[in-house]
Structure 1
Amino acid sequence: MWIFGYGSLVWKADFKFEYKLVGYIKGYLRRFYQHSIDHRGVPEKPGRVVTLIQSNDSNSKVWGVAYKIRSEDAAQVSQHLDFREKNGYSKRTVTFHPKDNIEPFQLTLYVATEDNESYAGEASIEEIAKQVLSCQGPSGTNKEYLYNLAAAMRELAPDVEDDHLFSLEAAVRRLDTDTKKT
């Protein structure tokens, strides 16, 4: 079994895996369009986390990490991820393109569709930045999620530009008084 991570799974793989590959999927865009009431926010003040939306350009790429799960761990990891991604996410099978000239292959990812009750939808970068900066949940602050994801993507795919992710990071850092003190 293979699982694709494009959000917190990129930098917080809290499950057993045999190895991981960096690469991308096509036809999607990574966007902070999903509310988080269970990890980076609470019901009264939901945070924002990433999901995937269909792109009008079939060659659009979302970079992330594919994790190879051993067959003996597959049921346990699936159960763990189903719980972790419970707030509006469902499984989908897509083609993964590894960075290192390995043949593309099918894997599973979790995506929050527009019809789930926690789908936040589109907003301006500034609006999302204010929400991210002000929210916190059981897994930590929403800005920590954003900063960790941006740093991980720069490390894993340094030549890849993710406009939405990096524009949001810049907007939050401009507003974040904690980072201005250092």
Structure 2
Amino acid sequence: MSDERWVFGYGSLMWRPGFDFVERKPATLHGRKRAFCIYSVHHRGTYERPGLVLGLAPGGATRGMAYRVDEAAWPEVYAYLVEREQPTETYMEARRAVRLADGRRAEALVFLSDVRHPQWAGALGLERQAELIAGASGLSGRNVDYLRDLVDHLREEGVRDLGMETLLGLVEQRELAGG
């Protein structure tokens, strides 16, 4: 691996990075899985009615997107990412090896879920996740819209995440049933 600056995204960073980059490649991170494992008490829920947001939970593998950032732009991009991803410090900044779709390996900046943080929800079953997401809403809107946006964008990127698709179906059923 070289001294290049890479960032790995597994959620909204995949389709809305918010920074300039010189290269964008599908990539896989091993050892972590995309999961609704963090309680949201601001953006997609409240303290009274928490929702859930994505994190990278231990185990499995995650298909996402890697971005190579120009060295001169790195300080600004890094500051932006810390501000975007760390408002409540529910994520831990780390550098991890990712496998790019073209076969190369790169070391990327990634934000992992902090399992010791009070907002860590852990490995909730799909029914419990659906219960929390259905009806939850916060400063950034309805929790189900966040999940739907994720599934739609993953499909656009050619990523089929059956767990997320199943979860969306369960949430939609609950919302149709009124809760």
TM-score by length of 1: 0.84
Residue number in structure 2 paired with 1:77: 77
Q: Deviations over 1:58-96 (max 9, x none)?
A: xx4201111222223222222222122222111111111
Q: Deviations over 1:89-133 (max 9, x none)?
A: 11111111112x241111010011210121011222122112112
Q: 1:28 is matched with which residue: 18, 29, 32?
A: 32
Tell me if structure 1 keeps the 8 A contact 2:135–2:175.
no
Residue number in structure 2 paired with 1:93: 95
Output the amino acid matched with 2:37.
Answer: Y
Residue number in structure 2 paired with 1:165: 164
**Identical pairs, percent:** 27
What is the alpha-carbon distance in structure 2 between the residues aligned to residue 37 and residue 79 of structure 1? Answer: 24
Q: 1:6 is matched with which residue: 3, 10, 20?
A: 10
TM superposition shift of 1:38 = 3.4
What is the alpha-carbon distance in structure 1 between the residues aligned to residue 20 and residue 45 of structure 2? Answer: 26
Residue number in structure 2 paired with 1:64: 64
What is the alpha-carbon distance in structure 1 between the residues aligned to residue 81 and residue 114 of structure 2? Answer: 17
* Structure 1 gaps, min length 5: none
Secondary structure in structure 2 of the residue aligned to 1:134: coil
Tell me if structure 2 keeps the 8 A contact 1:23–1:66.
yes
What is the alpha-carbon distance in structure 1 between the residues aligned to residue 18 and residue 48 of structure 2? Answer: 27
Is structure 2 residue 19 aligned with structure 1 residue 15?
yes
* Structure 2 gaps, min length 5: none
Tell me if structure 2 keeps the 8 A contact 1:11–1:148.
no
What is the alpha-carbon distance in structure 2 between the residues aligned to residue 30 and residue 115 of structure 1? Answer: 18
Secondary structure in structure 1 of the residue aligned to 2:21: coil
CA RMSD of aligned residues (A): 1.9
Is structure 2 residue 48 aligned with structure 1 residue 47?
no
Tell me if structure 2 keeps the 8 A contact 1:7–1:49.
no
What is the alpha-carbon distance in structure 1 between the residues aligned to residue 74 and residue 67 of structure 2? Answer: 11
Output the amino acid matched with 1:96.
Answer: V
TM superposition shift of 1:41 = 2.1
* Distance of aligned partners of 1:175 and 1:11 in 2 relative to their CA distance in 1, 3 Å threshold: farther
Q: Deviations over 1:22-55 (max 9, x none)?
A: 1211122211111122322233332211112222
* Distance of aligned partners of 1:84 and 1:37 in 2 relative to their CA distance in 1, 3 Å threshold: farther
